Amino acid sequence: MVNTTQPTADLSPAPAVKKIQDERLREVSLVTKIMRRPELGALAGLILVAIFFASTADASMFTLAGIMNILSPAAQLGILAIAAALLMIGGEFDLSIGSMVAFTGLIFGAFITLSGWPLLLAIVATLVIAAVLGGLNGQLVIRTRLPSFIVTLAFLFILRGLSLVGLKWATGGSTQMRGIGDQAGEGLVRELFSGNALEGVFAWLAANDLIGKFPNGTPTVTGVPVSIVWFVGFALLATWILLRTRVGNWIFAAGGDPNAARNSGVPVDRVKTGLFMFTAAAAALVAILTVLDAGSTDARRGFQKEFEAIIAAVIGGCLLTGGYGSAIGAFFGAIIFGMVSIGLTYTRFDSDWFQVFLGAMLLLAVLFNNFIRRKVTGER
Amino acid sequence: MESQVPLIEIRNLVKHFGSVIALSGVSLNVHRGEVMCLLGDNGAGKSTLIKTLAGVHRPTSGDFLVEGKPVSFSSPREALDAGIATVYQDLAMIPLMSVTRNFFMGREPVKGVWPFRRVDFDHCDEVTREEMHKIGIDVRDPHQAVGTLSGGERQCVAIARAVYFGAKVLILDEPTSALGVAQTSMVLKYIHQVRQKGLGVIFITHNVRHAYAVGDRFTVLNRGKTLGTYAKSEIQIDELQNLMAGGKELQAVSAELGGMV
């Protein structure tokens, strides 16, 4: 790296310059800084929704048990939404993730019940197959230069159909495969993917009267469902990748303007293919978590999750055009989802209002994001 | 200047795309510390020539020497590594990303060991702020999106980035064509600064005034051929204009309209 110094006379001594600029830095108001965060909308939305339910819903919604109830569906959706957010920032869509959940659920179930593989092997194989399918999606999009919307829409139907056909074939005519939970066995691997985490902590908290417990001394909430732990871990990892690593910068660049990125030496095609693989693997992870939790899988698993994931990502600040967004925003977006879908049952409202609410949130989020983008880029 | 080996020298460069002859014998050289203006009307072959120099296309025949050594680039990356940096008119920066992220795009410095390897953003911000200051752009905050900069500032940042990463030759593809007067003079001033640092600049434009303001020598391209190279002392601005437009017709139009086109 050659850092040529300037032969022309410097106008002012460097230290003075630094000082002036540092002063100017402080002038960037806190408001501007906050406005620049893509997840602002999602956080504001979450607070609004929480206030709404705090004032209308039964108080039991915000107990520890209630919060776990909200977070469980949020976690499953959230893992998908975070992956979808990264892919959207990278400038692509994947409409096949819902079907991918069903399909990978099927092959995972088949590995356990039909092949009798040990759990760890079945999990690894399922993730690898998902990644290969995701890579195929990515390569098709890159090589044909077709919009990912249309390519993955094809896979939405292909994978859903394969799941149905495969399930009937594997079970002799049923669209549900049972007995996966029984055959998966127990052990460390099982505990990583199903049941509750932090049970010891919760028992200790209950023993010290910090959380509610039954008269016999067991806590009312025995632990955090592992899917929630995965969800939080996923959000942290994705945020770190996005904001602190080279790959993160490349994701923003690939989605922002692939040509400019290529001209600057960013391996755009590799980044996009990797994102498709990551998204598919996230769908497989959700499949593994939910199948082990329920002990069975069926053809409707993951139905319409692709739309919900994209909605959560958009609520989280992702632009449909790519190049902008955040993983932590998708995290909040998924929690909003969970809070509304579960929260309505704690109120006197008909829970079918959920869809109305969902559409309204989406519309608001898109309008808000557009406004923010204009602010950020100085577009007029 | 004359005694030196040119930074870039091309002789009789020919490029065919199937049956289309895009370049049919182009010769050009650029020395350290000079601005070589490449002038030509639409379709003269300017774009093909830059893309060949930038490693996007391979020449069909002809010599391409960098600092006296023959080269053959198979990718833009190789040209970049050889010190030839191309700044494209509107494909240089990503508006939604911060100035820092744009500046280091594709060449992010990392620290730490895998899997904890991360971009050293403190260093990046500091360098960006310094480089911005050198070119006289007061960036209050290197985290602000490039979209908030003006077109001229964006071009300057793109040029500064190329200079910072060790370019010896800068190829500027119509850097001023989309800019207003004040913005243009800002970019031209910066091109002048870059020349003083000892870089060679190839400045592509079809605006003769912009070229004449900053150029040392002028090469005119027409229908895939070089019509000639002239030092600034050898040629007047209106001669250059006529040469570029292929002569007569424009003169006639110009006379008709009672002024210079």
Residue A21 has pLDDT above 50, yes or no: no
Contact in structure between A101 and A283 (CB atoms under 8 Å): yes
Q: Looking at per-residue confidence, does A163 or B57 come out higher?
A: A163
Residue A11 has pLDDT above 60, yes or no: no
Total tally of structural domains belonging to chain B: 1
The amino acid that residue A183 corresponds to is: Q
ipTM above 0.85 for this complex: no
Q: What is the pTM of this model?
A: 0.86
Determine contact: A8 vs chain B, CB below 8 A: yes
Of B94, B140, B197, nearest to A323 by CB-CB distance is B94
Give residue A184's pLDDT: 83
Give residue A9's pLDDT: 39
Token pair 């829409």 is found at: A153
Quick: pLDDT tens for A103-116: 999 999 999 999 99
Q: What is the DSSP letter of A195?
A: S
Task: Measure A159 CA to nearest chain B CA, in Å.
Answer: 33
Asked if residue B70 is part of any domain, the answer here is: yes
Provide the residue range defining the domain that includes B37: 8-95+167-235
Asked if residue B149 is part of any domain, the answer here is: no
Asked if residue B58 is part of any domain, the answer here is: yes
Enumerate the residues of chain A whose CB falls inside 8 A of the CB of residue B118: 240, 244-245
Which residue(s) pair with A219 in the sheet?
A213
Please provide the average confidence, as pLDDT, over all residues in chain A: 87
Contact in structure between B66 and B83 (CB atoms under 8 Å): yes
Asked if residue B85 is part of any domain, the answer here is: yes
Determine contact: B97 vs chain A, CB below 8 A: yes
Q: What is the DSSP letter of B149?
A: S
Give residue B209's pLDDT: 87
Closest CA to B154 of B166, B137, B171, B167: B137
Determine contact: A2 vs chain B, CB below 8 A: yes
Give residue A25's pLDDT: 47
Give residue A12's pLDDT: 39
Of A2, A3, A17, nearest to B133 by CB-CB distance is A17
Enumerate the residues of chain B whose CB falls inside 8 A of the CB of residue A3: 164, 166
Asked if residue B199 is part of any domain, the answer here is: yes
Residue count of chain B: 261
Please provide the average confidence, as pLDDT, over all residues in chain B: 85
Burial call A156-181: b when 16+ CB within 10 Å, e when fewer: beebbebbbebbeebbeeeeebbebb
Interacting residues of B85 by C-beta distance below 8 A, sequence separation 6+: B162, B165, B167, B169, B170, B171
**Low-confidence spans in chain B with pLDDT less than 70:** 1-3, 90-91, 139-140, 246-256, 258-261
Give residue A372's pLDDT: 77
Give residue A209's pLDDT: 83
Please tell me the distance from the alpha carbon of residue A130 to that of residue A285, in angstroms, as a whole number. 9
Please tell me the distance from the alpha carbon of residue B113 to that of residue A93, in angstroms, as a whole number. 32
Asked if residue B110 is part of any domain, the answer here is: no
Please tell me the distance from the alpha carbon of residue B143 to that of residue A293, in angstroms, as a whole number. 44
Give residue A74's pLDDT: 95
- Nearest chain B alpha carbon to A22: B140
Give residue B154's pLDDT: 86
Q: Which helix (H) or strand (E) holds B119?
A: strand B118-119
Closest CA to B39 of B261, B258, B239, B251: B239
Q: Which long-range contacts (CB under 8 A, 24 or more apart) does B185-188 make?
A: B186/B136, B186/B152, B186/B153, B186/B156, B187/B152, B187/B155, B187/B156, B187/B159, B188/B213, B188/B214
Q: What is the CATH number of the domain that holds B24?
A: 3.40.50.300
Q: Assign A221 to helix, strand or coil.
A: coil
Interface test with chain B among A264, A321, A326, by most B beta carbons within 10 Å: A264
Contact in structure between A38 and A252 (CB atoms under 8 Å): no
The arithmetic mean of pLDDT across residues A66-91, rounded, is 95
Closest CA to A309 of A67, A69, A46, A76: A76
The domains found in chain A, sorted by start residue, are 44-196+227-377 (1.10.3470)
Give residue A6's pLDDT: 39
Q: What is the DSSP letter of A213?
A: B
Give residue A17's pLDDT: 41
Quick: pLDDT tens for B80-109: 888 998 888 766 789 889 999 999 998 899
Asked if residue B78 is part of any domain, the answer here is: yes
Of B77, B88, B149, nearest to A265 by CB-CB distance is B77
Across the interface, whether the CB atoms of A259 and B148 are under 8 A apart is answered no
Give residue A308's pLDDT: 93
Quick: pLDDT tens for B111-135: 988 888 999 999 999 999 888 888 7
Of B92, B94, B110, nearest to A246 by CB-CB distance is B110
Please tell me the distance from the alpha carbon of residue A318 to that of residue A324, in angstroms, as a whole number. 6
Asked if residue B123 is part of any domain, the answer here is: no
What are B119's two structure tokens?
A: 């971009």
Contact in structure between B1 and B33 (CB atoms under 8 Å): yes
The answer to whether the bond into A7 is cis (omega within 30° of 0) is no
Give residue B1's pLDDT: 45
Which residue(s) pair with B21 in the sheet?
B16
